Structure 1
């Protein structure tokens, strides 16, 4: 074999080794990206589960009289109630103020609406793909139990559900009676945020049966923003 052939073979092997190195590096990068994505998935799941434990612990502390209990020191919200849909067996801790941080961790009461059980319409909102994923399963007549942080237990009976624009919700926070509105984005299977909201109306039930409520004034327009 001539020197020229030897040099050509060596050059070919060098190029082959370089190509193999590039391919191997690409495979390693893809594998690393996969590991990172899986790791992120586990991290997000673990974060969600830990946060729910902390929220429940904070709410339990409030039930025992700790007025300044927060789930974690830097939280810009506090826990104020717990909602349970009896028939479908779903429970969630309700947070104060529907800020972006609060809605990331659970349902939140809109700050400009009364507390559940107080005169008017209390509005609780949550994301459709997480904490209010079950809202579509609530049927007319279902009982919704709310435990407030002062230990008061309130039972609401679900009424009609409807779909409305966020800025034309028809919810009047000052409506007669003691009402509850649960709101989330619609449609439930959408991948992007849209202008429509799914709203379940409910009214307070007393020991003697359904409370007698005046017809709700639907002229008010309480915006129900991003969930």
Structure 2
């Protein structure tokens, strides 16, 4: 790759990693660090065990920031070949994490909101990365939306941001824009329950 093209590509990669890493849980950061250390890099000195930076005291947040800063320092020093190798492993790991929560058929109501309207619709299938909704409302690809639903009437509503990525006659596919580790745990609980025949009689409530 030519020098100028590679510098532009490097900036894109680092910007993408920055957004993803700052949203990761502590455990996900440690997992990513292990992924980095397990790679057969050209410079084997670029190894760093940052798991000890996560402490339970009042400096925990500061230590987290130190880990992120040191991690980016290491990545910035990687050669083109090593950075591309790391990104390939990162994408495979990210895909595997999403596949841990497969798409499950479902049938429950939820509230969807856009800038100009609020819609109550049915979810037909759901995964940790998105949901397919049954609706005759008009949308556009890339349109931002907000979703709100709860597992039970007694539980707090789960609120997610997303974007329209697929449109069909009578339905629309939504991909979550971002999802926290807490929301992912709730989503995993939902998917596990939907996939469990013993819980099939338990209805889910739309957010209000």
Higher helix content, 1 or 2:
2
Q: Same fold (TM over 0.5)?
A: no
Larger Rg: 1
TM-score using structure 2 length: 0.23
